[in-house]
Amino acid sequence: MLSVIEPPQRDGSSSIVPPSFFIILTSVFVDMLGYGIMLPLLPFYVQQHALESGAAIAGGLMSMYATIQLVSGPILGALSDRYGRKPILLFCLLGTATSYLLLGLANSLVMIVIAVFLDGLTGSNLTLAHAYVADTTDAENRARGLNYSQLAFGLGIMAGPILGGTLSGYGLSLPALVASALAFGNTVFGYVLLPESLSPERRETQPISQVFSWAGQFTSIFRKQSIRNFLMVLFLLNLAFAGLQTNFPLYSNARFDWSPAQNSYFYLYVGLCGVLVQGVLFARLQARFGESKLVPAGLICMGLGLAGMAFAPDAWMIFPAVAIVALGTGISIPSLTALVSLRLPEHEQGRLMGGNQTLLALTNIFGPTLAGLSFDMIAISAPYWLGRLFAWLALGIWIMNRRR
């Protein structure tokens, strides 16, 4: 049952700014910088070794990546509950560095597939960073800590494509090698400077055989009644947004005749809105209203903003509408994640964040498919009306459980 009573404070760090906190945020930024470098260039790596355009293969590789993360997220999170955050995070960073190196040296499609598989298998860096933040923040500062890690994530994703596009002018292998060097450097940085956040006496003691049971790890999270409805709301919230990123260029071209360059500028605007919300507004709003009020406010903003995007008869109307969507996602996701986190003990934070990653991977699989089908079979604006429906369904679940 959803509760609006603030959970009790936990023992531990009462400040949001220990040195380790900034170290983990730097690690998230560098990791996402490398990911941002590689993501837009993957189709071109495939194209070098594919007989045809490679678009279908590149799409298949991204689906494979998301599917692998469905399985690996909860397991790596549970391993960090048992052995500590630092060793598992370093393992993931090292796997990411190796996968980028393989991609930079790839001379066949098989090597590209292996590189993407390895990156998916060890791609739980943000999950483990969130668990680390949960270990080092108290109830009052949990949402702000998770928000700042999302901000570091967004900044890396924004800067990465710009750097990758610049480097690609000197050869397609160079961006992958630079991303690999960043990831290897990040691994060394974490090994030398990052302290362990989960002391041995606070760790999970379940048998190792249970740790590697993906189904057991994932379903055990949903068996906890105290957070089940939170997770349903979180799933619908992400599903409302998941398909729009891949669908928007088609929508803007069909309705406003936008070129790829115009869409690029629009995505930059979206990123700047996200940075403004996460870097400036969220801390002030959270301190004044608290997470329990920000979640429904964010869902209402998402519904209104998505409806505005679907309705917009003129291109300029898209900009205020997407700013409202950015506000909604920026205040609701970290608030909801914090509320879930505060209802589980410390030794289950890794498994929880891994379960959250699995939910996100599911939305990344089903969201683009639903958006594409509704775009083709109903109307070009249908994905945005569908997103509004998911957002307001999540709001309905929140309100009903609050009344109970």
What the block records as the tokens of 364 is 């990344």
What the block records as the tokens of 373 is 């089908």
Q: Residue 3: what pLDDT?
A: 36
Q: Residue 226: what pLDDT?
A: 67
Q: Element (H or E) spanning 335, and its range?
A: helix 318-341
pLDDT class for 300, splitting at 50, 70, 90?
very high
Asked if 329 and 282 touch (Cβ cutoff 8 Å), the reply is no
pLDDT tens column, 222-259 = 666 667 788 888 888 888 877 676 677 778 888 888 87
Q: Among the residues of 84-124, which ranges form H helices?
A: 85-105, 109-121
CATH 1.20.1250.20 fits 218-404, yes or no: yes
Predicted confidence (pLDDT) at residue 159 exceeds the cutoff of 60:
yes
Contacts (Cβ under 8 Å, ≥6 apart) of 155: 29, 32, 275
DSSP 8-state secondary structure symbol assigned to residue 347: G
Q: Residue 321: what pLDDT?
A: 93
Burial (0-12, 13-18, 19+ Cβ within 10 Å), 397: middle
DSSP 8-state secondary structure symbol assigned to residue 200: G
Q: Residue 215: what pLDDT?
A: 61
pLDDT class for 18, splitting at 50, 70, 90?
low
Q: Do domains 17-195 and 218-404 have the same CATH topology?
A: yes
pLDDT tens column, 125-153 = 777 888 888 787 777 777 777 778 778 87
Q: What percent of the chain has pLDDT over 90?
A: 12
Domain ranges of the chain: 17-195, 218-404
CATH H superfamily, domain 17-195: MFS general substrate transporter like domains (1.20.1250.20)
Predicted confidence (pLDDT) at residue 299 exceeds the cutoff of 90:
yes
Closest CA to 258 of 178, 300, 315: 315
What's the CA gap between 385 and 259, in Å, rounded? Answer: 24
Contacts (Cβ under 8 Å, ≥6 apart) of 224: 343, 344
What's the CA gap between 323 and 223, in Å, rounded? Answer: 36
Asked if 247 and 364 touch (Cβ cutoff 8 Å), the reply is no
- Please give the model's pTM, rounded to 2 decimal places: 0.70
What's the CA gap between 127 and 16, in Å, rounded? Answer: 18
Q: Element (H or E) spanning 199, and its range?
A: none
What's the CA gap between 357 and 360, in Å, rounded? Answer: 5
What the block records as the tokens of 218 is 């994932």
What's the CA gap between 265 and 171, in Å, rounded? Answer: 24
